[in-house]
Chains A and B, each alone.
Chain A
Amino acid sequence: MSPVEVSCPACGAPITFRIGSSVVAVCEFCKSAVARGDKNLEDLGKVADLVETGSPLDVGLKGAYHGVGFELTGRAQLGHEAGGMWDEWYAAFSDGRWGWLAEAQGRFYLTFQIPMETPQLPSLENLELGQPVAALPGSVPLMVAEKGEARALGARGEIPYRLTPGDTYYYADLSGPHGEFATLDYSGSPPVVFIGREVSLNDLGLAGATAPEREARHVAGVQLNCPKCGGPLDLRAPDQTERVTCPNCSSLLDVNQGKLTFLNTLKPGKVVPVIPLGATGEILGGKYTAIGFMQRSVEIEGTRYYWEEYLLYNPQIGFRWLVHSDGQWDFVEPVPPGAVQPSNKYASFNGQQFRMYQDEMARVEYVSGEFYWKVTQGETVRAIDYVHPPQMLSLEMSVNAAHPARKQTPEQIAAHKRSVETGEINWSLGTYVDTRTVERAFGIGKLPAAAKPAPNQVFPHKKIYKYWGLLTLATFLLWLVIAISAPDQKIFQQTFSLQPLPNATSTQTVFTDPIELHGNRNIQVTASAPVSNSWLYVDGDFYNDKTGLDQSFELPVEYYFGSDSDGSWSEGSTTNSVHISALPADKYVLRLEVSWGDNYQAPASVGVTVEQGVARGTHLLFTLLALSVIPVIVMIKHFNFSRRRWADSKFSPFQSS
């Protein structure tokens, strides 16, 4: 379709509708939003001037998504009820579709309108933050991440819907596990569904798009003067900052297009940041500047617990946090809400299950520096922490009181008078960072040591268990090798018949012919005697005639049995063995001095066997015991560590329910 030229109904200037399906075009001269109907043009009112956000995009840019070319034909700026603002770009695709490209805090979300014939979607009032919307098409559930109210502010170019300046409407943003994204637009009934995903400029074929003035501002920052005291203050993220505090008079200032407005004077904080604002440090692969500091607290059973948070900023990476609590540190980054699946006392993220640690209302006690949202002292959010050391998943849920949309057309008010709670959920992933890393990163002095483990701190000696397992396995393998390779060779075997003894304390001694013993092989001597409720005692020696080496051993054989009130019993055996360390290889005489005092008047007999190279289970047992001493002590310490780690939790697995 060829471009359609019309005259602006407000000022008469020429307006061109280049895209056949566009609905509104903004007059470049008088900023009127001009809608075209079947017959007439309609002046919808004047839009505000666009705020320079440093976006790399611009009307007229051409790109391609999944091989389909598009052109950015229009742009609108929409105001968030909390005071922030985001950009929406309208992409006319060559196949006739319109793409909605939302840009907020350096992220881009491309969505397309999906026709849904039946109103299966829940009403806005019935949408619950953090809950999936089952009626939407697609293979993955999309969670409600935000319910909000938007107001059309500025606009430019051609827009595919009827944008009325100043109009407000409710919407819900949904998030999926792998970057999926959707918006439900409740400006009409039934709601309009937009489904897509988070994209990069590279995905859009716009990798080369940059905003030079933005980069320049990132480097230089902006120096302004406090409207309250006139003192100088720096904005280190000027295009993102919504609130800043004056370092001279502790005023909280609102930032709007580089203009500062005094809001209130902050109560003095009771804590001094250990990382100075403006300090730059490299941590976990990124170089960040500490631009904001806040102290927050929760109240548990009447006691208020405090912690500190440092807002870090890197123009290429975005915002991150360093959280300092009880002397422990966490590096925190945002997580798409749809990537987390909470269920009862657990939450799953990235294939790992996190256990609920705390669920409290967190309150902002003190702020200093600059922030990318409209922070206020005393604001509260519901904060739920889940832990899986060394990580902690945190959910922050803010809910605004129910109110009707601030400005709706009479038709909209008549059609659906709404008074709904709005709010949003934010998931973040904290990673435990040891104190030394923070000290080194920001070049700060020695920080005090933590008194107790952090909720997501990994037990420091956990690696011992792995080594324990490996060593145990190696021990069994070695035992197997020893058992298989042991020669277990019988060296000598003889039964000796012994004459009766003259008295109970007498002994009878026998000598064997020299026995050839191998070196480096243990010796097992076994004695067998037909004892029955009696004993026989062998006092033996291996004696080397040449060297005079004498290795003695004792070998009692005793066997008793009987019955009593508990039944029959037995004790001992008719066979007993003794193990002796290897002797130097040579010939030895075996001397056996035998006594059997109880029945000394009767003849006796004893069989003696000598074996060498016998595999010994006792050695295996001793080795396993020796290897287990330290791990068992570590296990006890681990248990105590875990108890202390969960000590501050209402959901401790160590608490009896």
Chain B
Amino acid sequence: MFAKIYLLIGIAVLGLYGLSAFRGWELGTPKREFVPADVRQSPGGYRSFHFWHSGFHGGK
């Protein structure tokens, strides 16, 4: 019984793998947003998160 449950879970994992390849899914993809065109096109109206953040400082 337990083995059959595992088989079902395994088939689901395999299916998810196949589906992710078929649909082009990627793990860890950053969040998507909808930014209206008028907001984006207004002067200074849109800046990315990193614009407000202190920025990248390198690895060393």
Contacts and interface: CB of A to CB of B under 8 A. Distances in A.
User: Are A and B part of the same complex?
Assistant: yes
Interface in B1-57: 2-3, 6-7, 9-11, 13-14, 16-18, 20-37, 40, 48-51, 54-57
Contacts of B60: 533, 558, 560, 571
Interface string A546-586: 01111111101010100000000001100000011110000
B32 A549 contact: yes
A527 to B, nearest CB: 13
Nearest to B25: A581
A641 to B, nearest CB: 13
Contacts of A307: none
Nearest to B17: A623
A103 interface: no
Contact of A478 (B14, B25, B27): B14
A556 B60 CA distance: 13
A543 B32 CA distance: 10
B30 A471 contact: no
Contact of A552 (B9, B21, B48): B48
Contact of B35 (A543, A560, A630): A543
A623 B13 contact: yes
Q: How large is the interface on B (under 10, 10 to 19, 20 to 34, 35 or more residues)?
A: 35 or more
Nearest to A620: B17
Contacts of B54: 505
Among B6, B22, B23, B36, the one with the most A-chain Cβ atoms within 10 Å of its Cβ is: B6
A39 interface: no
B59 A627 contact: no
B55 A597 contact: yes
A467 interface: yes
Contact of B34 (A549, A598, A622): A549
B37 A548 contact: yes
Given A461-B2, A464-B2, A539-B50, A552 B24 contact: no
Contacts of B26: 522-523, 579-581, 616
A54 B37 CA distance: 104
B58 to A, nearest CB: 4
B56 A595 contact: yes
Most buried by B among A467, A478, A521: A467
Nearest to B47: A593
A120 interface: no
Given A543-B35, A553-B30, A558-B58, A626 B13 contact: yes
A635 interface: no
Contacts of B40: 543, 548, 550
Contacts of A582: 23-25
A194 interface: no
A307 B15 CA distance: 50
A482 interface: yes
A467 B10 contact: yes
B18 to A, nearest CB: 6
Contacts of A580: 26, 29-30
A478 B36 contact: no
Nearest to B22: A520
Contacts of A545: 37
Interface residues of A, number: 62
Contacts of B30: 551-554, 580
B15 to A, nearest CB: 10
A507 interface: yes
B58 A622 contact: no
A534 interface: yes
Given A463-B3, A552-B48, A560-B59, A547 B21 contact: no
Given A467-B6, A548-B37, A581 B29 contact: yes
A582 B32 CA distance: 12
Contacts of A571: 59-60
A537 B59 CA distance: 11
Given A520-B23, A623-B14, A593 B50 contact: yes
Nearest to B59: A558
A519 B23 CA distance: 8
A475 interface: yes
Contacts of B50: 539, 554, 593
A523 B23 CA distance: 11
Nearest to B15: A478
A94 B24 CA distance: 85
A573 B50 CA distance: 22
Given A475-B17, A622-B27, A535 B59 contact: yes
Contacts of B20: 619
Nearest to B2: A461
B12 to A, nearest CB: 10
A551 B32 contact: yes
A505 B52 CA distance: 11
Nearest to B8: A467
Interface string A268-295: 0000000000000000000000000000
A550 B13 contact: no
B48 A593 contact: yes
Contacts of B3: 461-464, 467
Given A520-B23, A549-B32, A539 B48 contact: yes
A156 to B, nearest CB: 61
Contacts of A537: 55-56
Given A463-B3, A478-B18, A598 B58 contact: yes
Contacts of B11: 471
Nearest to A522: B24
B25 A522 contact: yes
Given A550-B35, A552-B49, A534 B6 contact: no
Contacts of B17: 475, 478, 619-620, 622-623
B49 A595 contact: no
16 contacts: A461-B3, A462-B3, A464-B6, A475-B17, A522-B24, A537-B55, A551-B30, A552-B49, A560-B59, A580-B29, A581-B24, A581-B26, A593-B48, A595-B55, A597-B58, A620-B17
Given A519-B24, A558-B58, A560-B59, 16 more contacts: A463-B3, A467-B3, A471-B10, A533-B60, A535-B58, A551-B30, A551-B32, A552-B33, A556-B59, A579-B29, A581-B25, A581-B29, A582-B25, A597-B55, A623-B17, A631-B6
The 9 A-B residue pairs with the shortest CB-CB distance in the complex, in nearest-first order? A582-B24, A537-B56, A535-B58, A463-B3, A522-B24, A471-B10, A623-B17, A539-B50, A581-B29
